[in-house]
Amino acid sequence: MTLHIGILSRNPNLYSTRRLKEAIESKGHVAHVIDHLKCDINIEQDDPKIFYKGESLDFLDAVIPRIGSSVTYYGAAVVRQFEMMNVFTAVHSQALVRSRDKLRSLQLLASSGVGLPKTVFTNYSKEVDSLIDSVGGAPLIVKLLEGTQGFGVVLAPTKKAAQSIIQAFHSMKARVIVQEFIEESKGADIRAFVVNGRVVGAMKRQSKEGEFRSNLHQGGTGTLIRLSPRERTAAKTAAKAMGLPIAGVDLLQSSRGPLILEVNSSPGLEGIERATQKDIAATIVRFVVQQTLENRNKPKRRKRIKQNA
């Protein structure tokens, strides 16, 4: 059976978008790259629709969201509309929104029992010294709640520097998280790629010299790594806690075990495929096809989308 699968992406030339399109077509299905910002949402009782360039998208069987953080609100609305149309979505709208809320994500992860760096969030508190002491003192990390791909992340090497950075962000009304610095990680972290409850690939990302952020966008390098049982379990638990069947889980190796940093709902494929030499795109497509065919056999009904995220 040939399926029509949409890839919600603003740029058809991005590596991840191209690889997903190739994987869909190699399986004998039809791929459609759709710019979600150009979708029109038609809200009508019992007849939800989405139009793209004047054409109804009611022919799609499934969609794979690749929603950038800067357009989460509208991107999630488009995904939610597909859910109401009974189209299978590889990432649910609620999970997408939760994953982009750093504070909510950390709360969910903490309740799931995975290890986390000591973290403090405050509403512009003037008790800066208490914040610093709560995470074990300097050096420490200060993160903007809205930062992505390593941007908006600052290392404060001393208590005085930490005080200045936190106060500067507060003066600009920028919400920040203050987080423990894990020195033994030595500027490296692990990206574990989870699909349908399985870790299908993992790489160790090492920061470039003089840099503490290991993100590949910041010049870090990725190499293949074999996860320990504890690291594998932590990655799978974190993805499940966030409700993400497809996720990039970032974690640190520490003296007290793996510590989860973040769970990404639209993880890039380029770094992980090059580091592991695995066809991660094909794994994602197999999952989407399987779930779409299984959902076709279930009784059809319009989904009522819960509003609490």
2 in Cβ contact with 29 (< 8 Å): yes
Global pTM value: 0.88
Per-residue pLDDT of 35-93, as tens digits, reads: 999 999 999 888 999 999 999 999 999 999 999 989 999 999 999 999 999 999 999 99
Per-residue pLDDT of 85-125, as tens digits, reads: 999 999 999 999 999 998 899 999 999 999 999 999 877 77
At residue 210 the predicted structure's pLDDT band, cuts being 50, 70 and 90, is low
Sketch the domain layout of the chain as residue ranges: 4-97, 119-181, 184-264
Question: Into which CATH architecture does domain 119-181 fall?
Answer: 2-Layer Sandwich (3.30)
Helices (H), the chain: 15-26, 72-84, 93-99, 102-112, 128-134, 159-171, 229-241, 270-276, 280-296
189 in Cβ contact with 251 (< 8 Å): yes
141 in Cβ contact with 153 (< 8 Å): yes
Per-residue pLDDT of 149-180, as tens digits, reads: 556 788 899 999 999 999 998 888 888 899 99
Helices (H), 141-218: 159-171
Q: Does domain 184-264 have CATH number 3.30.470.20?
A: yes
Fold of 4-97: Rossmann fold (3.40.50)
pLDDT > 90? residue 302: no
